[in-house]
Amino acid sequence: MSEPRHRHKKRSTTNGQKKQTQISNTAESSVDAQTGSTLLWNLIWLVSIALGASVCCICGWKHARYMAQLHENYLWFTNIKELEREISFRTESGLYYSYYKQMVNAPSIMEGINSLTDDNLTEFPSTINVIERMNIYQEIILATIYRSFTVIHKNFLPVFFYIHTIFSLHGALVSSLFVTAWMLSESWLTGILAACFYIFNRLDTTRVEYVIPLRESFSLPFLWLQVAAISYYLRWKTNPVLSVKVMLVIELCNLLLVCVMQFCSPMILGSLAVSFIISFMILLMFKNYLFSAGGSFYQLSKVSIFSLASLVLMVAINKLIKVIIVLDADEHIFKFLLTKFGLGSYTDFDSQLYLCNGAFGFLEWDTFVRLTNGFVFPVYAVGHVVLLVLMLVSCFKKWRHKSPTSNYRPLLFARPEIAFHTEFLQLDVLPNANHSKSVVFLFRHFVIGSILASLLYTVLPGVYKELEDLKEFWDPDTVDLMEWIKTNSAPTAAFSGSMQLMAGVKLCTGRAINNHPHYEHKLLRQKTKMIYQIYGRKPPEDIYKILTHYKTTHIILEDSICLAPSRNGCRTPDLVDVVNGELPDGVSHRDGLVRNQHPRFCNEIRKGAKRYTKYFRLVFENRTFRVYQLL
**Coil/strand/helix, residue 103:** helix
Specify if 132 maps to a domain.
no
Rounded CA separation 588/576 (Å): 17
What's the pLDDT score for residue 407? Answer: 47
Specify the pLDDT at position 19.
52
Least confident interval from 103-112, 444-453, 486-495, 621-630: 444-453
Q: How confident is the model at residue 590 (pLDDT cuts 50, 70, 90)?
A: confident
Q: Report the range out of 305-314, 334-343, 510-519 with the highest average pLDDT.
A: 510-519
pLDDT at 297: 61
**pLDDT(89) > 90:** yes
pLDDT interval class at 289 (50, 70, 90):
low
Q: Residue 296 pLDDT more than 90?
A: no
| pLDDT computed for residue 164 by the predictor | 97
**What is the pLDDT at residue 490?**
95
Q: What are the start-end ranges of the E strands in 449-600?
A: 494-496, 512-513, 554-558
Burial of 109: CB neighbours in 10 Å, binned 0-12, 13-18, 19+: middle
530: in domain = yes
pLDDT in tens, 468-518: 999 999 999 999 999 999 999 999 999 999 999 999 999 999 999 999 999
Q: Is the pLDDT of residue 417 over 50?
A: no
Q: What is the pLDDT of residue 348?
A: 85
Give the confidence band of 436 by pLDDT, cuts at 50, 70, 90. low
Predicted confidence at residue 549, as pLDDT, reads: 96
Q: Across residues 333-342, what is the average pLDDT?
A: 83
pLDDT exceeds cutoff 80 at 543: yes
Which residue range is the domain that position 534 belongs to? Answer: 476-630
Q: Is residue 584 part of a domain?
A: yes
CATH number at residue 591: 3.40.50
The fraction of the chain above a pLDDT of 90, given in percent, is 58
Sheet order of strands, 494-496 included: 512-513, 494-496, 554-558, 625-630, 616-621
Please tell me the distance from the alpha carbon of residue 178 to that of residue 60, in angstroms, as a whole number.
9
- Alpha carbons 423 and 26: distance in angstroms, whole number: 9
Is the pLDDT higher at 364 or at 541?
Answer: 541
Which is higher by pLDDT, 349 or 33? Answer: 349
Residue 14: the pLDDT is: 53
Mean pLDDT of 594-623: 93
What phi and psi, each to the nearest 5 degrees, are found at residue 557?
Answer: -100, 140
What is residue 333's predicted lDDT score, i.e. its pLDDT? 83
What average pLDDT does this structure show over 141-148? 96
Does residue 54 carry a pLDDT above 80? yes
Which of 30-34, 246-250, 449-453, 463-467 shows the lowest per-residue confidence on average (mean pLDDT)?
A: 30-34
Q: How many domains does the chain have?
A: 1
pLDDT in tens, 36-53: 677 887 888 899 899 999
Instruction: Return the pLDDT at 413.
Output: 43
Q: Quote the Cα angle for 177-178-183, to 5°.
A: 100
Predicted TM-score (pTM) of this structure: 0.85
Would 34 be classed as within a structural domain? no
CB atoms within 10 A of CB 499: 21
What pLDDT does 526 receive?
A: 93
In 3-state terms the chain splits into helix, strand, coil percentages (rounded to 5) of 70, 5, 25
Q: Is 300 exposed, middle or buried (0-12, 13-18, 19+ CB in 10 A)?
A: middle
**Residue 498, burial from CB neighbour count under 10 angstroms (0-12, 13-18, 19+):** buried
Residue 392 lies in a domain: no
Residue 552: inside a domain = yes
At residue 156, does pLDDT exceed 60? yes
- Higher pLDDT pick, 419 / 142: 142
Q: Answer yes or no: is 465 within a domain.
A: no
pLDDT of residue 3: 47
Q: What mean pLDDT is reported for the chain?
A: 86
- Does 325 map to a domain? no
